[in-house]
């Protein structure tokens, strides 16, 4: 599995993992750090952030210096919004932000309140509607 940047056709090879410092984010980051290199990706850094976080300027600056192809946040809503907005403000532009099991990127509130920050963020936070078991979102 190799992700491609559709604009350039170049493969994404490097990843920065940004995760909340609790069991959820740390466990998911541990799993990705173990599995992604087996699929041709290099983890350039893991950045743990507190929940709640009030300022992620230092994280955005670190991401800018690392210049990863992909940023994968595993954080809660508030921190994801803050990270996306801070990256946008500081013009940190990886090939993609791939949100894994993340409550913000698939939240319509995030998209409606911060459309510029939400632009281009991919999400894999699927859930099943118990009223309609055949449908997933």
DSSP string, 9-23: -PBP-EEEEEEESSH
The first and second tokens of residue 70, run together, are 């992909």
The first and second tokens of residue 60, run together, are 């955005």
Looking up residue 78, the CATH number of its domain turns out to be 3.40.50.2300
Q: Is residue 119 part of a domain?
A: yes
Give the SS3 label for residue 133: coil
Residue 20: pLDDT over 80: yes
Q: Is residue 132 part of a domain?
A: no
Residue 54 gets which letter from DSSP?
S
Q: Is residue 61 part of a domain?
A: yes
pTM for the model stands at 0.83
**Number of folded domains that form the chain:** 1
Strand partners, 49: 20
Q: Is residue 133 part of a domain?
A: no
Q: pLDDT tens-digit profile of 81-119?
A: 999 999 999 999 999 898 877 767 778 888 889 888 888
Q: pLDDT tens-digit profile of 39-54?
A: 999 999 999 999 999 9
Range of the domain at 80: 14-123
Residue 20 gets which letter from DSSP?
E
What is the Cα–Cα distance from 17 to 9, expressed in whole angstroms?
23
Residue 134: pLDDT over 90: no
Give the SS3 label for residue 39: helix
Residues 61-73 have a mean pLDDT of: 96
What is the Cα–Cα distance from 95 to 129, expressed in whole angstroms?
32
Q: Is residue 20 part of a domain?
A: yes
Pairing between strand 121-123 and 70-74?
unpaired
């Amino acid at each position: 599995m190799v992700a491609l940047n559709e604009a350039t056709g170049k493969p994404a090879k490097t990843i920065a993992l940004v995760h909340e410092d609790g069991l959820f984010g740390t466990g998911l980051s541990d799993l990705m750090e173990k599995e992604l290199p087996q699929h041709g990706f290099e983890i350039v850094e893991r950045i743990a952030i507190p929940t709640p976080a009030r300022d992620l300027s230092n994280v955005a600056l670190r991401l800018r210096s690392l210049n990863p192809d992909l940023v994968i946040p595993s954080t809660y809503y508030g921190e994801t919004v803050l990270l996306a907005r801070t990256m946008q403000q500081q013009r940190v532009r990886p090939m993609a932000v791939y949100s894994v099991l993340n409550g913000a990127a698939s939240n319509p509130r995030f998209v409606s309140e911060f459309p510029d920050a939400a632009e281009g963020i991919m999400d894999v936070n699927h859930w099943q509607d118990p009223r309609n078991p055949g449908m997933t979102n």
